[in-house]
Amino acid sequence: MTALFYIVASLKSNQQAFSIEINKTILSHQTSLVDSSIIACAVLCISDYKCCSASYNEDSKICLLGNQCSPVMRDSANFKTLTKQPRDVAYGKSATQSSVFENLPINIASRAVDGDLTTWMHTAKEYMPFWIVDLEKIYKIKRIEIFNRNKGYRISGERLHDLDITVGPTENEMQLCAHYVGPSKLKDHLVFECLHEDVRFVKLMINSTEVLNVVEVKVYAW
Ligand SMILES: *[C@@H]1O[C@H](CO)[C@@H](O)[C@H](O)[C@H]1NC(C)=O
Ligand SMILES: *[C@@H]1O[C@H](CO)[C@@H](O)[C@H](O)[C@H]1NC(C)=O
Ligand SMILES: [Ca+2]
């Protein structure tokens, strides 16, 4: 039986959801310590971005922290195992882009991380237009979702093509995580599985002379 368990790590970060397994412990862990409660153990896991699962024993008060996000477990009475669930960490973060179409506020970078599918980011037509979000700390990411422009002429949906999605801990250490040949269509919801550690920046760039214009970008991370 798996239930969801929510905890607020700090005032600044989002809520972290965990799945919880009763009478199970993780087979391998990186850290073992004694702590006061399962909540304290979960907070330790939240504060370490490499930690993805934590097992806590109610009797011995042992807290085991592991790096696996799909941990192998074994039966063990009195243990509970918490596993982090990926969540969108791009929402509300600071974003920039290569240019703003007509310099209008309705086209700025932050509108791709406002959680609203009726607003978009929109560059001018230029060589290699890009958009970049700063997740503000390092995450282990799982996937990136892009919601393409969803209204207008057919051709404006097809602007999304030859897209490089790169990720990295700084803007100077970006690595390719997905390449999308396209072209896309209006209303497309594109999902790119992209397992990467050490990610703070996510960049979208079209490798040609084009307009970059998408409604929303979500970055799922643990
Ligand atoms: C966990 O194990 C204890 C002790 O064996 C048992 O009493 C309890 O019912 C188990 N709980 C679940 C949810 O399996
Ligand atoms: C852009 O595309 C060309 C081929 O069309 C390729 O050689 C080059 O590596 C690409 N640049 C980037 C930054 O993706
Ligand atoms: Ca939006």
150-168 pLDDT tens trace: 999 989 999 999 999 999 9
Q: Among all ligands shown, which has an atom nearest to the Cα of 120?
A: 3
What token pair was written down for 84? 């982090």
For residue 13, the SS3 value is coil
Listed residues: CB within 5 A of ion ligand 3? 111, 114, 116, 119, 216
Give Rg (Cα) of the chain. Answer: 20
Instruction: Identify the bridge partners of residue 206 per DSSP, sorted by sequence position.
Output: 163
In one letter, which amino acid is 103?
N
DSSP of 140-164: EEEEEEEEE--SS-HHHHTT--SEE
> Same CATH topology for 3-85 and 88-221?
no
CA of 161 relative to ligand 3 center, distance in Å: 19
pLDDT at 12: 45
Domain 88-221 coded CATH 2.60.120.260: yes
Query: Can you give the pTM of this predicted structure?
Result: 0.84
The arithmetic mean of pLDDT across residues 179-194, rounded, is: 97
Confidence of residue 17 (pLDDT cuts 50, 70, 90): confident
Distances (CA, A) of 214 to 37, 159, 182, 206: 44, 10, 14, 12
Domain boundary assignment for the chain: 3-85, 88-221
Closest ligand 1 atom, CA of 23? 1
- How many beta carbons lie within 10 A of that of residue 32, not counting itself? 11
The pLDDT, as a whole number, for residue 16 is: 84
